[in-house]
Structure 1
Amino acid sequence: MTQRGSQVVYQTGVRVIGGVADVAVGTPVCKTGRTTGTTCGTVLAKDVTYNYPDGIVTGLIETDLCAKGGDSGAPLFSTTGGYGSRSAYGAFGILSGSTGFCDVPGFRSSFQPLPEVMSTYQLALAPRY
């Protein structure tokens, strides 16, 4: 039987997303992007403002996860379960951008909080079957 529902690719498999949640500073997280694949790290700050070439974006989640061009829109998710069930993982954000090269000390990546995105566009997680 194939399990359907809200999932995210994680290394060699998938993680079932059981809930969309706010995330606390210090939380261990991962993202899976088209360019860099799965990278993991920590939430460093919340409600951060980034000044991108196209304009200023406020209210972002800041992490130390490696992200490069082509990763935009990658999901930010928990590394442990407990979001809706013991095996379901939480989703926190969508990759917005980064400060440059991953191997440079002080590198940061930013994510638009997912609860805000889901609310704005009236979205909901697909049910598990």
Structure 2
Amino acid sequence: MVPGCTTARHDVYAAQCPCRDVLDLLANKWSALAIGAMEAGPQRFGALRRRLEGVSPKVLTNTLRRLEEKGFVDRTIFPAVPLHVEYALTDLGRSVAQPLGQLRDWVETHLGEISGAQET
């Protein structure tokens, strides 16, 4: 049995399954947007912050740390003055970028319908 799960395999519907932590991270808007922003290649913190309009430095820092901790992002420090830090998707991060991109596309495509439903 998998620790925290009710069966021999992971079950995101099980209350204690560790899958839920990963789902929570990936379903977070800033995580989904940061992963999308890094699809084009490594990004510096400032570039990510400009691309993700409305994110605070603290929230972006926490998001990038969580993504790095779970193996979706690599953080590389270049010894320069001033310090140069880049964030890039790992293979795992690239593998989740496509489904998250499809979700972002779906939202943009259907926003009119969603907004219309709220008005009724």
- TM-score, normalised relative to structure 2: 0.29
Higher alpha-carbon Rg: 2
- TM-score, normalised relative to structure 1: 0.27
Normalized per residue, which structure has more helix?
A: 2
